[in-house]
Chain A
Amino acid sequence: MKIHHFLSLFSTYFLVDGVNIEDRAGQFFSSGHTNNWAVLVCTSRFWFNYRHVANTLSVYRSVKRLGIPDSHIVLMLADDMACNHRNPKPATVFSHKNMELNVYGDDVEVDYRGYEVTVENFLRILTGRLPPSTPRSKRLLSDDRSNILIYLTGHGGNGFLKFQDSEEISNVELADAFEQMWQKRRYNELLFIIDTCQGASMYERFYSPNLMALASSQVGEDSLSHQPDLAIGVHLMDRYTFYLLEFLEDIHPASKTNMNDLFKVCPKSQCVSTPGHRTDLFLRDPGSVLITDFFGSVRKVELTMETINLTDPIEQLESAESGELQKEMHTYADQLPVSEIIHQKPKQKDWHPPDGFILGLWTLILLVFFQTYGVKHLKHIF
């Protein structure tokens, strides 16, 4: 695939005019993915962590705008800020002060919320080991041709990320989860973005191929928040994600910006912390990876000229109603049948054999009885 890519690069340099369409077609198929997924996690609870929810929702909004549908996004918000009673404007989450941009919007589907956002659920989503009754919207149904974007935000430290103030996930666990995903062929390429204090420590331990990681701060540095809003009373966004959102607002589904531009987002002068990135595990050159490879969605279209014969429409069976149906009248049940309730017999509980304790007690009593009085009394019983 790399050779193919180099060839197409050479062709653009030397054959300018006529090969433009072919070259674009070449680029269309150059990355190996056919579908896009996103897992966006906010791990903080409580009203003063409003900015983490705003971070996650702004990435959610950009990702939806660039084409990834709700069915391919797993959104986890550890607390509810929009309908929180402290929110002066309910059903909104703002990212810019003076309430310019409502990132919560009117069409949001949160898959995991509140107490469901735990380390266990997060790792289960990544590795696919969910209980059988989990609905589809709560699963990451990726395959080996999926590009996955994983975004984490919250409070973190050197080597760990805190979930909901009660547990944490370490960088070793995360690296092992990605290795499981690689071995189960659950991703083609994975972009990992983390916006926490000392975020770079979370990607230090990765060892699976095709992982690219970005963090908002190096080890020993704190990620800072951007600006408070005086009406709402809390900080609205973190700096790194604020400038990331500004950068993404300029991207449209057909844009050609690549990852090198993403690495330049939020330099130290704006962010106060130094954003870091890691590309040594990634096979392709970051300059050739488009932003829309991860943030947008690819719909693979196959043109075919052959005709396909559709089968005949399914005949809706005439339900053999009239003869078969009962002739008796149905009635509505009585909502509060007082006399019936008063005379309700106690339910016949299913008989269970006596519990262990009772059985043991009776055995003891019988043993003592027969010990005292001798076995000859048995004949009185049988």
Chain B
Amino acid sequence: AMAEQKFRVRARALVCVFVCVVMCGCGRDDFQEELVIRPLHSGDIYTSFQFRTLWETDFTRENKVSHYRLFPKSLGQVISKFSVRELHISFTQGYWRTMQWGQPYLPSPPGAELWVWFQDSLTDVDGTWKELTNVLSGIFCASLNFIDSTNTVQPSASFKPLGIGNVTDHRFLRYATLPREIVCTENLTPWKKLLPCGSKAGLAVLLKSEKLFHSSFHSQAVHIRPVCKDDQCKTTSWELRQTLNVVFDLHNSGQGKNEWSLFKMFSRTLTEACPVASSSKIYIDITDNSQGEQFELSPATPLLSQAVVLGDRRTFSVYDLTQQITFGTMRSLNLLIRGKSSDMLRPLLHAERYVAGYGLQTGEIHTLMYNNHPYRSFPVLLLDSVPWYLRLYIHTLTVTSKGKDNKPSYIHYQPSKDRVRPHLLEMLVQLPPNSVTEVTLQFERALLKWTEYTPDPNHGFYVGSSVISSLVPSIVAMDTNNSRERPLFSSFFPSKEESSYFVRVYTEPLLVNLPTPDFSMPYNVICLTCTVVAVGYGSLYNLLTRSFQIEEPSPGLAKRIANIIRKMRGVPPL
């Protein structure tokens, strides 16, 4: 069956290539796949899959695109029908621990997050947003239809478009998170079906749900944006990136030995690259291991590559899956990494958030932002979206760094409307070097109507993560030529200047308890009221409307016999 499947995929790829060559060469699409493995200093291991499809086509023209090859048709139809300019959706299980794992290549908050830039030709953005979330909930088998106006915000300065384009009018941006959304195999299955090779060939054969979800962190995302096709950047092509980030826990995955292999992580090994991929590579981060003293990598590979990513120049060992010699004589690749990585540098920016206070009436949200750079300060844009049932008091907002007041240079606050809109708070804060900046805000909890509670209200209600966007000073010069061929993991965020790179950090989501009523009370009240009405009113009604008659009680048996005898004798009865 395996050989047959391989043959079928190969045959399909050949037919596709043939057909493409025969038809006019307009709008060729290109698929690349990549896996980056980074051993972490705690013994855990971070793997990041990226699958990118580039297609030079125009979804916005009148004649609908009808011939899809590598680009999935369901997403193409979504782009053209809803006039989408950029779409970013991610599903995450777990929280990214920046202090232990460093910065991720692609950040994502716990739960589901969706942000979309629409084309500026669209007139009804809110209606289209609602339809789009419903359609996406069907595509990804997630309850994205719970995204409505009560959890959607329109950021005024964060979430600038990641693709090319000149217009940045924030009226066409919508952002929503569902912190409660779970990720499981039912979300992975349709995600895998969007890949050109599915999960049959290439790197996607490693995506087995039983191993992927038995991890500390799992995040899968889809990013669609227009990018430059070449250096001149006169034509645009559409880029679809499907990314999957997993952090495997050392102790969870058994034995506790400091040894990782593809088989141990994914219970599979690689046998071939995806036939329709133009490039299929595995990168292992060996920067801390230049002489091989920290960990050992087998099978050895001569290919080395350097890339500037997250402000640092890192060295990678490269395995090219399109070359047959990578698989060796066994025709299967099982990478083995033995040993631990060295301590990593402290990340320059990280954040925490928690709820302080006691009781079920008031509370205080504290957000802490750490700047770990020894002498440089940098600006940070904090975006907070709080649901309407936590009533924020903005007059209690304080921003302090190193004990002194730190006035933000830009504040945008949109107050909430009960059951219509959440709170939106955006602030541009300058973080002084080597400091902790604390943002505190007091709130009051609202009492919901009894039908608005979820079936498990005692679990609590979630408040979505805060988003902190920042330009962090980099250690080495960043590459500002965005159209050059670079590994996928280093080309996600475009860099405009050499001295800093863009980073986005998400805080923890909050779980707050709202005052919960006793849900058996309606039943109790009905019972009590009915009883009182029945007993009280019923008795009164009976007393008023009944008429009373005197009735002789019937005499006992002995008396009756005596009366009969007396009647026979002719004597008056008793």
Contacts and interface: CB of A to CB of B under 8 A. Distances in A.
Contact of A106 (B58, B209, B214, B494): B209
A68 B405 CA distance: 65
Most buried by A among B137, B146, B190, B493: B137
Interface residues on A, range: 35 or more
A380 to B, nearest CB: 39
A317 to B, nearest CB: 6
B164 A80 contact: no
A332 to B, nearest CB: 4
B163 A332 contact: yes
A32 interface: no
A80 B455 contact: no
B108 to A, nearest CB: 16
Contacts of A327: 234
A45 B460 CA distance: 15
Given A90-B210, A333-B161, A319 B58 contact: yes
Given A45-B455, A341-B428, A332 B482 contact: yes
Given A318-B24, A319-B26, A333-B165, A342 B135 contact: no
Interface stretch (A110-118, A145-153, A288-296, A355-363): A110-118
B164 A344 contact: no
A109 B186 contact: yes
A347 B156 contact: yes
Contact of B455 (A104, A133, A165, A318): A165
A108 B189 contact: yes
B146 A115 contact: yes
A135 B138 contact: yes
Contacts of A111: 141
A340 B493 CA distance: 20
Given A90-B213, A330-B166, A347-B156, A341 B141 contact: no
A329 B186 contact: no
B131 interface: yes
Interface stretch (B177-185, B362-370, B385-393, B396-404): B177-185
B236 A164 contact: no
A342 B209 CA distance: 46
Most buried by A among B145, B184, B234: B184
A316 B67 contact: yes
Contacts of A207: none
A325 B235 contact: yes
A330 B234 contact: yes
Given A90-B214, A133-B130, A335-B494, A342 B409 contact: yes
Contacts of B454: 115
Contact of A318 (B26, B143, B163, B471): B26
B165 A330 contact: yes
B330 interface: no
Interface string A107-146: 1111111111000000000000001011111100000000
Nearest to A117: B455
B130 A109 contact: no
A321 B24 CA distance: 14
Nearest to B225: A332
Interface of A: 45-46, 80, 82-83, 89-92, 104-116, 131, 133-138, 164-166, 314, 316-319, 321, 325-338, 341-342, 344, 347
Given A45-B456, A91-B213, 14 more contacts: A82-B184, A82-B185, A89-B210, A106-B189, A106-B209, A107-B189, A108-B185, A111-B141, A133-B135, A134-B134, A138-B137, A330-B165, A333-B164, A341-B428
Interface of B: 23-24, 26-27, 58, 61, 63, 66-67, 93, 130-131, 134-135, 137-139, 141-143, 145-146, 156-157, 160-166, 168, 180, 182-186, 189-190, 208-210, 212-214, 228, 232-236, 379, 381, 409-410, 428, 454-456, 469-471, 482, 493-494, 496, 502, 519
11 contacts: A82-B213, A89-B210, A91-B212, A91-B213, A105-B185, A318-B24, A319-B26, A325-B235, A330-B233, A332-B163, A338-B428
